[in-house]
Structure 1
Amino acid sequence: PDKTKASYRVAEFLQRKNYKIFPIYPKEEFILNEKVYRNLDQIEEKIDTLILFRKGEVALEILPKLVEKNIKNLWLQLGISNETAKEECKKLDINFIQNRCIMLEYPYFKTKEK
């Protein structure tokens, strides 16, 4: 992966803040010393928040998987939005944030730092 991309930098930041990350990527076996998964189905551990670095349309496509895996937070990074997904998340009781960088917003929300 490209270490200059936001997805890599944000993952690295969250890892430093003691969050467990589950990289989903079509290549590589490990990123930041974490096992890489090809899709959400491969992750057996509980996931609290899915941070999306893909086109906004993907947010709507993955909603059934979020419900199935009981993922309660969907975060679309800076520059990514989907108003239809926002409305659907409201109906599904999934917290939804769009067009914001979790790394930049980090100081403003309660953390679980160790």
Structure 2
Amino acid sequence: MNHDRYEDGYVADILKTVKTVAVVGASPNPSRPSHGVMGFLLSKGYHVIPVNPGQAGKTILGRTVYGRLADIPEPVDMVDVFRASEYVDAVIDEALALDPSPKVIWTQLGVRDDAAAGRAEAAGLKVVQDRCPAIEYPRLIGRR
């Protein structure tokens, strides 16, 4: 897939069908983008699970933080990555080791690894890179 541009329907379908989102790199700091996006997703009815090894066992926005994806005790539909591009490959390795695998890997603005995205797609996952669901949701689905 060409990750330079996505069809609106592709992104909208993801946002309409996923229910449980793991936010890798979630921060307890309200000034951090991951905190704001997590709050936005919660406000839209998504079940959001923060992942941050330095915050494991604590809470962010009332949600228990897990140290890694494998520690989450339930299936996740989408992994939203708030880590630098050089960490995407390892996050995808972790996501692909889950059973069941998530349906979607989403990397935030400025975060991209085309080789890792290709591996995820080869395993049957959808991938969105260098986008923010808090921007795409209002644009494609509305303010609801």
Would you say same fold, with TM above 0.5?
yes
- Could you tell me which runs of 5 or more consecutive residues in structure 1 were left unpaired when the two chains were aligned: none
Instruction: Deviation per CA, 1:46-94: give whole Å up to 9, x if none.
Output: 1000000001122211223222221110000001111111211221111
Higher strand share: 2
State the match for 1:58 in structure 2.
Answer: 87
Contact 1:66-1:72 at 8 Å conserved across structures: no
Match of 1:27 in 2: 55
- The range that moved more, 102-111 or 82-91, is 102-111
Please give the alpha-carbon distance, in whole angstroms, between the structure 2 residues aligned to 1:64 and 1:99.
19
Determine the structure 1 residue equivalent to 2:127: 96
| Aligned with 2:111 (options 80, 100, 114) | 80
Q: Which of these residues, 20, 24, 38, is aligned with residue 67 of structure 2?
A: 38
Divergent runs of 4+, >4 A: 108-111
RMSD: 1.9
Is 1:47 paired with 2:50?
no
> Gaps (5+ residues) in structure 2?
1-27
| Secondary structure of 1:23's aligned partner | strand
Is this contact kept in 1: 2:103–2:126, CA < 8 A?
Answer: yes
CA–CA distance in structure 2, aligned partners of residues 56 and 96 of structure 1: 14
> Residue 38 of structure 1 aligns to which amino acid in structure 2?
G
Q: Are 1:3 and 2:30 matched, yes or no?
A: yes
Identity %: 28
Query: Cα offset for 1:11?
Result: 0.2
Indicate yes or no: 2:49 matched with 1:18. no
Contact (CA 8 Å) 1:73, 1:96: kept in 2 or not? yes
Which secondary structure does the structure 2 equivalent of 1:74 belong to?
strand
State the TM-score, normalizing by the size of structure 2: 0.71
Q: How many residues align?
A: 112
Amino acid at match of 1:27: Q
In structure 2, what residue type is equivalent to 1:106?
Y
Q: 1:110 to 1:72 in 2, by over 3 A?
A: farther
Q: Secondary structure at the match of 1:21?
A: strand
Contact 2:96 2:120 in 1 (8 A): no
